[in-house]
């Protein structure tokens, strides 16, 4: 993932550079000490930054995992839907004049068009077929074998598992985003005050502000 496209990443990178250049520049450190900002205070600020960066990275990781989870879920959905619809059509042909069996297999009416209806219909369909030898004997003529039924049940279980993983990922991603926003706000407050102190400490040495990549308007 190219993090440079995220404004928050670039913001944190500018803060990292500011801390590195401050802590590695003796003249800047001395100027800050003269206005009460010791190296210990600056190091504490850097710790706040490091926490924000860690939380930011974790947030982006959770976003990536959620995106991958959604892709995996959509793939599993498509596989089950294709398998179920194909075999549903076959059984509708075989049992076109038998309403009771159509109800048992949940194949009357139109095909499922959402996750809940697909899960309900396919679960009832494959479970009914797997436990009824008489139905199995009648559908084998259109190549719906015990293997076909077992395959459908496997696809159903896989979809449910991926759905649960995806939903869990959404919750974790949302929580990680809240933590990231909180951490960015904390380092933002610290940097705001730090920049004001820098303006005072380096008032007579504007060239040192340029070392930090920070410019004061004239």
Query: pLDDT tens-digit profile of 104-149?
Result: 999 988 889 999 999 999 999 999 999 999 999 999 999 999 999 9
Quote the pLDDT of residue 209: 85
Q: How far is CA 141 from the centre of its chain?
A: 45
* 188 vs 194: CA distance, rounded Å: 10
Instruction: State the pTM of this model.
Output: 0.82
pLDDT class of 214 with cuts at 50, 70, 90: low
- Residue pLDDT, tens place only, 27-61: 999 999 999 999 999 999 999 999 999 999 999 99
Quote the pLDDT of residue 72: 98
- Non-local CB neighbours of 31 within 8 Å, separated by 6+ positions: 201, 202, 205, 208
Place of tokens 């479970």: 127
Q: Residue 73: how many CA atoms within 13 Å on its side-chain side? A: 18
Quote the pLDDT of residue 119: 96
* 35 vs 201: CA distance, rounded Å: 6
Model confidence at 2: pLDDT above 60: no
Q: Which conformational region is residue 124 in: left (phi greater than 0), alpha (psi within -120 to 50 degrees), or beta? A: alpha
Quote the pLDDT of residue 156: 97
Domain boundaries, the chain: 3-211
- Residue pLDDT, tens place only, 164-213: 999 999 999 999 999 999 999 999 999 999 999 999 999 888 888 887 87
């Amino acid at each position: 993932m190219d993090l440079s496209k995220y404004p928050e990443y670039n913001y944190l990178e500018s803060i990292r550079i500011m801390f590195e250049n401050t802590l590695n520049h003796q003249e800047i450190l001395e100027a800050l000490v003269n206005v009460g900002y010791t190296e210990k205070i600056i190091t504490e600020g850097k710790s706040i930054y490091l926490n924000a960066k860690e939380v930011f990275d974790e947030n982006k990781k959770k976003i990536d995992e959620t995106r991958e989870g959604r892709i995996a879920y959509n793939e599993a959905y498509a596989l089950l839907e294709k398998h179920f619809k194909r075999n549903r059509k076959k059984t509708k042909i075989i049992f076109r004049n038998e309403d009771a069996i159509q109800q048992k297999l949940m194949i009357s009416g139109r095909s499922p068009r959402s996750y809940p209806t697909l899960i309900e219909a396919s679960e009832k369909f494959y479970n009914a077929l797997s436990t009824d030898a008489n139905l199995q004997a009648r559908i084998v003529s259109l190549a719906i074998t015990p293997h076909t039924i077992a395959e459908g049940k496997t696809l159903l279980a896989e979809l449910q598992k991926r759905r649960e993983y995806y939903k869990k990922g959404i919750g974790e991603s949302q929580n990680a985003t809240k933590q990231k926003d909180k951490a960015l706000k904390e380092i933002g407050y610290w940097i705001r005050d730090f920049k004001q102190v820098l303006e005072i400490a380096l008032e007579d040495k504007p060239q040192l502000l340029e070392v930090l990549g920070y410019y004061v308007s004239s």
